[in-house]
Structure 1
Amino acid sequence: MNFDFNFKEIFTAFMVLFAVIDIIGNIPIIIDLRKKVGHIQSEKASIIAGVILTVFLFLGQSILSLIGLDVNSFAVAGSFILFFIALEMILGVTLYKEEDTNPLTASVFPLAFPLIAGPGSLTTLLSLRAEFSLENIIVAVIMNVVVIYIVLKTSKRIERFLGVNGISIIRKVFGVILLAIAVKLFADNIKILFA
């Protein structure tokens, strides 16, 4: 088997995924989630997100076709999730109420999916697959999973460093950014669906 590793492709794919996953922007959500459930399993969340991303890279188009969905419908559904998460961040309200405050569940949903391995990152993977070699995208996914793990593991220290006011400001700023991403994701894909 011949591998064609290309540093430029790996770096570009890494940066695109890093921007879409936006783990730095998700720090306020991670801190909030940790307060709700008491503990987040960083290793489990990172590994599950990595597995979801890798499986979707190989089988995404087939899975969506099998259940009669296209990438655009998937992206529109994802934009609604992002929209409501953004509203929570901006308005300081809780729209999503999870009765089971089990840390095992929280590490999978909503952290690993849809926050990290969400519709945005999954649809991005399908786009990258059309442009870059598979092995380069896999390396980029692994690099992102490592960064995600580091951020999840150090979220307490990041929280202490930023303080309550810093987190509140970052939460609102990234809430607006996330809202804009949700609107763009919705607008771009709804046009294609109704074209």
Structure 2
Amino acid sequence: MFDIFDFKEIFTAGMILFAVIDIIGSIPIIVNLRQKVGHIQSEKASIVSALLMIVFLFVGESILKLIGIDVNSFAVAGALILFFLAIEMILGIQLYKDDAPETAAIVPLAFPLIAGAGTMTTILSLKSEFETPNIIAAIVFNIVVVYFVLKSSKKIEKILGNQGISVARKIFGVILLAIAVKLFVTNIQNLF
């Protein structure tokens, strides 16, 4: 039964998704949302995020083919998005700003904070390197982590403090930058 799972692939895909989702680095955003709307619907945000990612894993490539884009082009574009996300995390700047939300479950938590463009691009890129069951396991692992972080964001904020959150965000930014470069180099070669 467990023959279909490769724990090395699950771990690698899981860490890549963890860096892209950057739920730890998003704690300041989550805290800010909680202050604006009062309550964060952790369960709803986690379930919707998981569904978005798994559905995109299966139909994302078909959608791209329908509009005439190949996976390598999408991966290169995704690598550029990941590059800019990493730059935001490392330098502490904001290149993309979203309007103030009225609710905090589907928008902006599930989409685009957890299952945003960077995550979707990464999922398609992972599909070219890893087996589908391992990617699904990595997604589920990350959604469990996301759920617990959303549920305990107050406690995590107190434990890490602003300095700890900033350090974690920069570390994951560097990891994400390295992933973006690897993704770009691998897929740009396949375009030519």
TM-score computed with the length of structure 1 as normaliser:
0.78
Give the structure 2 partner of residue 184 of structure 1. Answer: 182
CA deviations over 1:134-176 (Å, ceiling 9, x no partner): 5x65455434422332233223322221222222222222222
Indicate which of 21, 26, 30 corresponds to 2:22. 26
Larger deviation: 34-43 or 73-82? 34-43
- Match for 2:2 among 2, 6, 15? 6
Q: Is the 8 A contact 2:80 2:180 kept in 1?
A: yes
Tell me the secondary structure at the aligned position of residue 93 of structure 1: coil
- Report which stretch shifted further, 183-192 or 117-126: 117-126
Q: For 1:170, which of 144, 154, 168 is the aligned residue? A: 168
The residue number in structure 2 matching 1:65 is: 65
Q: Matched residue of 2:98: which SS?
A: coil
2-structure distance, mates of 1:41, 1:180 = 33
Question: What residue in structure 2 maps to residue 128 of structure 1?
Answer: 130
* Deviations 1:35-83, CA, capped at 9 Å, x for gaps: 4423543223321221122223332332221121111111122222222
Alpha-carbon separation, structure 1, partners of 2:130 and 2:11: 11
| C-alpha separation in 2, matches of 1:122 and 1:157 | 34
Equivalent-residue separation in structure 1 for 2:94 and 2:57 (angstroms): 32
Pair 1:79–1:23, CA change in 2 (3 A): closer
TM norm structure 2: 0.79
Residue 15 of structure 1: aligned partner = 11
Q: Which SS does the other structure have where 1:182 is aligned?
A: helix
Superposition deviation, residue 88 in structure 1: 1.7
Q: 1:30 to 1:58 in 2, by over 3 A?
A: same
Amino acid at match of 1:114: G
The SS at the match of 2:26 is: helix
Mark the runs of 5 or more structure 1 residues left unpaired by the alignment: none
CA separation in 2, counterparts of 1:100 and 1:32?
14
Cα deviation, residue 33, structure 1:
1.7
Q: Offset at 1:91?
A: 1.6
Structural mapping, 1:31-46, within 5 Å: 31-38=27-34, 40-46=40-46
Inter-partner Cα distance in structure 2 for 1:107 and 1:177: 22
**How far apart are the structure 1 equivalents of 2:146 and 2:83?**
22
2:114 maps to 1:112: yes
Q: Tell me, in whole angstroms, the C-alpha distance in 2 between the residues paired with 1:188 and 1:147.
A: 29
Runs of at least 4 residues off by over 4 Å: 136-140
Instruction: Report the residue type matching 2:170 in the other structure.
Output: K
Give per-residue Cα distances to partners, 1:104-132, cap 9 Å, x unaligned. Answer: 41113322322784311332135334xx6
**What percent identity do the matched residue pairs reach?**
47
Return the offset for 1:31: 1.0
How many matched pairs?
A: 186
State yes or no: 1:95 paired with 2:91. no
Gaps in structure 2 of 5+ consecutive residues: none
Partners in 1 of 2:124 and 2:160 — Cα distance?
A: 30
